[in-house]
Each structure stands twice: as C-alpha cells, then as structure tokens.
C-alpha cells in the first residue's frame, strides 16, 4: 500500500499489504498517523462535507507556515477534484517526480 502525503506531495510506502492496512485502519491507530495534519475543530469541518468534497488548506499543508501553526490556516470545503488537482500541480512543479494518477472524483 502507498499513500500520497498532503504534507510532502510524495507517494510514501506504508510497508504493509491490503489486509494489514484494513486491519490497521480498524485498530484505532489512524489517529496518530495524522498527527500534525489536524487542527482544532477538524472533525466538525470534515463532518460537514459531502462525499465529493475535501478541505483546501492555506497556507498549504506542505508549507513551513502550515507546519508552524496549523490552527491558523484558512480552510474551506471545495470539490475533491480541486484538492487533488492542486496537489498534483504543485507536486509536478516542486517535487522530484511526477505523482502520476492519484484519482478521479
């Protein structure tokens, strides 16, 4: 399993197969996986989304400013295709590799 990390704009190996990943998802350890990427009130913001939406964060999650104070970022609900499109565009410009296909919504 691999994961496209929004804070690095790179694919990261999770070092587990699908069955282990599903087990891990159900284990409750997902909370610690996203440490550093969640802000106060993220649950309420996420709960208000419809399935085709994501949350855009500015300054972007990969920026020094967002890492310094995630709670101070500006956020809004947008179509998930926009979240994915921005990530791909920046990864192509800033990353060492083209991220390739990361999904369609």
Q: Which domain holds residue 22?
A: 2-94
Is residue 105 situated within a structural domain?
no
Model pLDDT, residue 104: 66
For β-strands 53-58 and 10-13, DSSP reports them as unpaired
Q: Which of 51, 101, 50, 105 is nearest to 82 (CA)?
A: 105
- Examine residue 103 and state whether it is found in any structural domain, yes or no: no
Beta-bridge partner residues of 77: 55
54 half-sphere exposure, CB direction, 13 A CA radius: 14
CA atoms within 13 A on the CB side of 29: 7
Mean pLDDT for 23-43 is 89
Instruction: Report if residue 55 sits inside a domain.
Output: yes
In a domain, 31, yes or no: yes
Number of domains in the chain: 1
pTM of the model: 0.81
For position 97, what pLDDT does the model report? 73
- 14 found inside a domain: yes
Q: Is 75 part of any domain?
A: yes
Instruction: Among 6-15, 46-55, 69-78, 94-103, name the one with the lowest average pLDDT.
Output: 94-103
- Whether 101 is covered by a domain: the verdict is no
The closest alpha carbon to 59, from 47, 51, 67, belongs to: 67
């Amino acid at each position: 399993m691999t994961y496209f990390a929004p804070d690095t704009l790179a694919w990261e190996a999770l070092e587990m197969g699908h069955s282990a990943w599903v087990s891990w998802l159900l284990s409750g350890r997902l909370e610690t996986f996203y440490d550093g990427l969640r802000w106060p009130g993220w649950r309420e913001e996420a709960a208000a989304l419809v399935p085709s939406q994501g949350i855009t964060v500015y300054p972007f999650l990969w920026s020094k400013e967002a890492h310094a104070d995630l709670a101070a970022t500006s956020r809004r609900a947008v179509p998930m295709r926009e979240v994915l499109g921005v990530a791909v565009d920046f990864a192509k410009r800033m990353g060492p590799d083209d991220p390739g296909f990361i999904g369609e919504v």
